[in-house]
């Protein structure tokens, strides 16, 4: 594992910002050139299994040491050498997009749709980016930190209110 | 003139009583099915309504009669109303032709078997009309599937019956039973065992029962061609299916199992053996339902066309050759 | 590209049938296990395209997890995969323990393993019952439920609840087993293998079952990994990936068991893999029960496990060189839970259930991410259902073992 991390650091020094050693080795990457890194990991190093892809919102996080608001976290696993690594890409709030890894991993399709639905991060190159868990005409992105846990009466879903009115008539 | 009126009155009473008895049989067949399947699955069947649940069919009838009769939007009203009745009539009229004992057959038509086969062909109309008139995609798919299935398995059934006709020499059901009694085998099951199996499988497919009940599968198309029917019309479809079972079993008893003959005579009940054989065949229907999973549609059609029809043709050919030689 | 709703309206209004036949297997349906909506594009009986639409059971578990503290979040996890809820509890507990650096006592590990394997048996019995019912064999359904009732009664003796257990806590388990439970479990492990044989005789060599399941939805191994299938779906294609063997947790390092794999990757192989897993789970429970007397008397909860009501703030006094008179000492807030992140995954009966938690030092998680197997398996339905018939679609949904509570969270 040490050789793997050193090799990656040498080869992709412009993409990788930092390597942290938490419970699993974590690579913090930049957005540009990220696709090459993942392609290298999948094709050459055998990390064929994408366990998870999710987004995290760091608004008002007290111990934050960077300035971007969002982070997209990838967990990759190598079935032969049993190594699990974690990749993190930092996404600023005003430039909220990320490259899509759907051409490489078919699972990423639904994961990226969920990330878009919950955080508003759009993925370039995704074949069919639309809301998956919330209704299609919902406004707002629920898992952001400035979205309330309980909605007020006026903010409730418009389609439901219209439907109730129609039925009452 | 008086003679004619006497005959008509006698016929009317006989027909009425036969109809009532057949309806009671059908109603209690539903009860027997639920009880037997329950026992096979290690649970009791219905046992609340009446002693041991014996009034369950009557309770079901009352419930279905008093339900709201929903007619969905956009149906073709005359066809929608008539379709269940076509099914019921075509399924139920066959009861009139079956000889129950030596001196009782309601109508002794000379082309008995042909008439019953024609009626089962007509019942395909009921299915397809109800599927189309319901203005629903599920009903349409179910109706198309059911009609194709019914038509395919009719051919296998007719070929199986043809072998029996060839051996007996007549299409009249009374004559077929008499020919069985006079023949050395006593029942046509022994020489015609292949035809018997083909007939039983096709009969199960004709009535849309498991393992051939894809057109009305609950878990796939949510009851297929009669999904939009409620209350009384649903009851009529339900009755039509069980009526079909009874008529097919009765036909099998007549053609293959010897009708009313038995090892020993019971003095006051001449139809005893007929009923015993009928009940055994109905039990086989219920047994198969509890045990087997369901065929997929193309495998079902493959079974009908690629397996049953060639086997029935070979059987017919063999019967003809043997009859020619001996 | 026009959306499906518009096409549907156009077809009804204009009575044009040149476009392919669209049919909607709606959210309410007897055989989609839960509220799953499938939008099918049919050509005759063959499926050209199939779009699953989920989100009908979305309850916002990830957002709610940010408002409850760590011990309370275990209750949320019960309701995800409500059939085998002990497995979900274990996933959450493992992630939180990794975050907090807790060491779980050995007796608690054995008890957790027993409860997880019981959950696996419950889940596979329910899977067999509904799969067989969808394909048409009604009797298997009732036989499986008879055995499941037995297990649910044992669960009631263990923790008081039949379905949503919350028995596994952060740091161990809630309470110990009594001798009555251990005897009953021994009796279960003795009597269960002949019953598995019963189920197999009903459907294993039945020609109709074989025709309905052999060759349906074949997934080659590379595609299975790429699609993200895990659990029995992946092992049916031949890849022996089992989290219990690759990254052992709880007491799985101590027991020995076999991971069954299939060869072809069709529905029949996945069925056989799950039936073998039933036997292996029985064997694991047996081994753990045999090891329990060695750890008699040990605690079942770690000493520094957090209480149910974790405190909001914890302060420790700031060190003062010279104590001054009359001055109130303020404290320095210290984090209750270490700042950082943790990722833990388990082998739930349906696949790989992974939890990724980010903490900021307070008693509530900052981000609680649950990667559920059903979500990924639903995304594999369009791939598997191509060029199959509508009747096969039911078999496919059955073989993927989907629960909508798991996928929609």
B138 vs B131 pLDDT, higher one: B131
Calculate mean pLDDT across residues A18-29: 85
- Please compute the mean of the pLDDT values over residues B14-21 and round it to a whole number: 88
Whether C6 has a pLDDT exceeding 70, the answer reads no
How is domain A2-168 classified at the architecture level of CATH? Answer: 2-Layer Sandwich (3.30)
With beta carbons under 8 A apart, name residues in chain A contacting C380: 106
pLDDT tens for residues C95-116?
988 888 888 888 888 999 999 9
Domain boundaries, chain A: 2-168
Chain C: nearest CA to B303, how far in angstroms?
11
Q: DSSP code of B94?
A: G
Q: Which residues of chain B have a CB within 8 Å of the CB of C199?
A: none
CB B235, CB B246: distance < 8 Å: no
Partners of C23 on chain B (C-beta within 8 Å) are 137-138, 141
pLDDT(C319) > 80: no
Residue A5 has a pLDDT of: 84
Residues composing chain A: 169
Q: Listing from the earlier edge strand, what are the strands of the sheet with A83-91?
A: A16-21, A25-29, A83-91, A70-78, A49-57
Q: How far is CA A143 from CA B228, C243, C318, C393, in A?
A: 43, 29, 37, 33
In the structure encoding, which two tokens stand for residue B221, read together? 């198309």
Tokens of C331: 């404290």
Partners of B300 on chain C (C-beta within 8 Å) are none
By Cβ distance, the residue of C29, C143, C203 closest to B293 is: C203
Instruction: Classify C265 in phi/psi space as left (phi over 0), alpha (psi -120 to 50) or beta.
Output: left
Average pLDDT, chain B: 84
* Distance from the C409 Cα atom to the nearest Cα atom in chain B, whole angstroms: 25
Q: Do A22 and C340 touch (CB under 8 A)?
A: yes
Residue B161 belongs to what H/E stretch?
Answer: helix B137-168
Compute the mean pLDDT over every residue in chain A, rounded to the nearest whole number.
86
Q: Of the candidates B239, B213, B242, which has an alpha carbon nearest to the alpha carbon of residue B150?
A: B213
Residue C286's closest CA among C245, C257, C247, C243? C257
Q: What is the Cα–Cα distance from A12 to A58, expressed in whole angstroms?
A: 26
Give the C-alpha distances (Å, rounded to integers) separating C359 from B240, B310, C328. Answer: 66, 72, 31
Give the ipTM: 0.90
Average pLDDT, chain C: 84
Tell me the pLDDT tens digit for each residue of B192-235: 888 999 999 998 888 888 788 776 665 455 556 666 777 788 88
Give the residue with greater pLDDT, B100 vs B200: B200
- The rounded distance, in Å, linking the Cα atoms of B314 and C229 is 49
Task: Residue C354: name the closest of A117, A49, A143, A71 by CA.
Answer: A49
Residue C323 has pLDDT above 70, yes or no: no
Q: Which of B75-89, B277-291, C84-98, C313-327 has the lowest mean pLDDT?
A: C313-327
| Secondary structure (H, E, C), B100-130 | CECCECCCCCCCHHHHHHHHHHHHHHHHHHH
Cβ–Cβ gap C134/B219 under 8 Å: yes
Q: Is B305 exposed, middle or buried (0-12, 13-18, 19+ CB in 10 A)?
A: middle
* Residues composing chain B: 326
Contact C133 B141 (CB under 8 A): no
Peptide bond into B211 cis (omega under 30): yes
For residue B159 the two structure tokens come to 């070929």
Q: Alpha-carbon torsion B261, B267, B269, B272, what sign?
A: negative
| Interhelix angle B2-40/B272-291, nearest 10 degrees | 40
Report the percent of chain B where pLDDT is more than 70. Answer: 96
CB A10 within 8 A of CB A40: no
**Chain segment B259-271, per-residue pLDDT in tens:** 778 777 777 777 8
pLDDT beyond 80 at C8:
no
With a CB cutoff of 8 Å and minimum separation 6, the contacts of A70 are A55, A56, A57, A58, A90, A91, A92, A93, A96, A119, A121
pLDDT of residue C153: 92
Taking residues B97-121, what's their average pLDDT?
Answer: 83
Structural domains in chain C plus CATH codes: 4-53 (no CATH), 61-304+338-408 (1.10.645.10)
Burial call C21-57: b when 16+ CB within 10 Å, e when fewer: bbbbbebebebbbbbbbbbbbbeebebeebebbbbeb
pLDDT by residue (tens digit) across C357-393?
Answer: 998 888 888 899 999 999 999 989 898 888 888 778 8
Check if the beta carbon of residue A40 is closer than 8 Å to that of residue A32.
no
Contact C354 A49 (CB under 8 A): no
């Amino acid at each position: 594992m040490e050789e793997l991390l050193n090799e990656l650091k040498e080869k992709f020094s412009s993409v990788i910002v930092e390597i942290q050693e938490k419970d699993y080795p974590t690579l913090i990457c930049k957005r540009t050139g990220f696709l090459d890194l993942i392609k290298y990991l999948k094709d050459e190093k055998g990390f064929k299994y994408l366990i998870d892809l999710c987004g995290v919102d760091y608004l008002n996080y007290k111990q934050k040491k960077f300035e971007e608001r969002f982070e997209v976290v990838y967990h990759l696993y190598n079935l032969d050498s049993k190594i699990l690594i974690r990749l993190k890409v930092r996404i600023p709030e005003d430039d909220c997009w990320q490259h899509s890894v759907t051409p490489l991993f078919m699972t990423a399709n639904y994961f990226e749709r969920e990330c878009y639905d919950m955080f508003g991060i759009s993925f370039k190159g995704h074949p069919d980016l639309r809301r998956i868990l919330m209704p299609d005409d919902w406004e707002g992105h629920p898992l952001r930190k400035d979205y309330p846990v309980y909605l007020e009466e006026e903010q409730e879903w418009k389609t439901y209110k219209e439907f109730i009115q129609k039925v009452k008539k | 003139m008086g003679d004619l009126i006497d005959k008509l009155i006698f016929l009317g009473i006989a027909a009425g009583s036969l109809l009532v008895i057949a309806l009671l049989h059908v109603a209690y067949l539903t009860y027997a099915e639920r009880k037997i399947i329950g026992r096979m699955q290690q649970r009791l069947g219905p046992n609340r309504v009446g002693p041991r649940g014996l009034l369950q069919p009557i309770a079901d009838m009352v419930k279905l009669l008093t339900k709201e009769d929903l007619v969905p939007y956009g149906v073709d009203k005359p066809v929608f109303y008539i379709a269940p009745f076509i099914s019921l009539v075509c399924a139920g009229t066959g009861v009139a032709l079956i000889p129950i004992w030596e001196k009782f057959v309601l109508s002794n038509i000379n082309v008995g078997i042909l008439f019953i086969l024609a009626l089962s062909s007509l019942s395909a109309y009921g299915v397809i009309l109800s599927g189309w008139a319901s203005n629903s995609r599920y009903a349409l798919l179910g109706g198309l599937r059911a009609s194709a299935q019914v038509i395919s398995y009719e051919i296998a059934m007719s070929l199986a019956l043809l072998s029996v006709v060839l051996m007996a020499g007549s299409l009249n059901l009374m004559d077929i039973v008499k020919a069985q009694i006079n023949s050395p085998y006593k029942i046509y099951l022994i020489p015609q065992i292949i035809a018997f199996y083909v007939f039983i499988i096709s009969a199960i497919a004709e009535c849309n029962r498991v393992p051939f009940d894809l057109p009305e599968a609950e878990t796939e198309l949510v009851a297929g061609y009669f999904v939009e029917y409620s209350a009384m019309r649903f009851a009529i479809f339900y009755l039509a299916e069980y009526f079909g079972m009874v008529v097919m079993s009765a036909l099998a008893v007549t053609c293959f199992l010897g009708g009313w003959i038995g090892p020993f005579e019971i003095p006051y009940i001449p139809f005893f053996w007929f009923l015993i054989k009928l009940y055994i065949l109905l039990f086989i229907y219920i047994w198969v339902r509890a045990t087997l999973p369901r065929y997929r549609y193309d495998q079902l059609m493959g079974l009908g066309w690629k397996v049953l029809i060639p086997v029935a043709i070979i059987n017919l050919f063999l019967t003809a050759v043997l009859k020619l030689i001996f | 590209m026009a959306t499906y709703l518009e096409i549907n309206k156009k077809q009804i209004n204009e009575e044009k049938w040149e476009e392919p036949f669209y049919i909607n297997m709606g959210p309410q349906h007897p055989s989609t296990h839960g509220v799953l909506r499938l939008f099918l594009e049919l050509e005759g009986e063959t499926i050209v395209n199939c779009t699953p639409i989920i989100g009908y059971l979305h309850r916002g578990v990830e957002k709610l997890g940010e408002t409850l503290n760590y011990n309370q979040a275990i209750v949320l996890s019960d309701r995800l995969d409500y059939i085998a809820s002990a497995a979900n509890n274990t996933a959450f507990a493992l992630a939180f323990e990794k975050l907090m650096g807790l060491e779980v006592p050995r007796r608690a590990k054995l008890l957790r393993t027993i409860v997880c394997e019981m959950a696996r048996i419950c889940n596979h019995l329910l899977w067999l019952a509904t799969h067989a019912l969808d394909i048409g064999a009604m009797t298997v359904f009732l036989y499986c439920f008879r055995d499941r009732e037995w297990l649910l009664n044992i669960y009631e003796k263990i923790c008081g609840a039949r379905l949503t257990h919350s028995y596994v806590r952060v740091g161990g388990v809630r309470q110990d087993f009594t001798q009555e439970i251990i005897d009953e479990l021994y009796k279960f492990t003795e009597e269960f293998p002949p019953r598995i044989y019963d189920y197999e005789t009903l459907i294993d060599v039945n020609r109709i079952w074989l025709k309905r399941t052999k060759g349906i939805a074949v997934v080659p191994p590379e595609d299975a990994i790429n699609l993200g299938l895990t659990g029995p779906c992946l092992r049916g294609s031949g890849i022996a990936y089992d989290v219990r063997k690759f990254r052992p947790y709880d007491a799985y390092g101590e027991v020995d068991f076999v991971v069954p794999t299939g060869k072809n990757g069709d529905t029949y192989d996945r069925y056989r893999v799950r039936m073998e897993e039933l036997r292996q789970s029985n064997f694991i429970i047996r081994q753990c029960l045999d090891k329990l007397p060695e750890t008699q008397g040990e605690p079942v909860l770690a000493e520094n496990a957090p209480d149910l009501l974790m405190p909001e703030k914890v302060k420790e006094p700031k060190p003062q060189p010279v104590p001054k008179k009359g001055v109130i000492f303020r404290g320095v807030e210290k984090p209750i839970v270490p700042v950082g992140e943790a990722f833990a995954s388990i082998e739930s009966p349906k696949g790989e259930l992974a939890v990724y938690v980010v903490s900021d030092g307070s008693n509530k998680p900052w981000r609680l991410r649950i990667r559920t197997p059903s979500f990924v398996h639903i995304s594999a339905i369009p791939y598997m259902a191509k060029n199959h018939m509508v009747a096969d679609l039911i078999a496919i949904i059955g073989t993927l073992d989907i629960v909508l509570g798991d996928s929609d969270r």
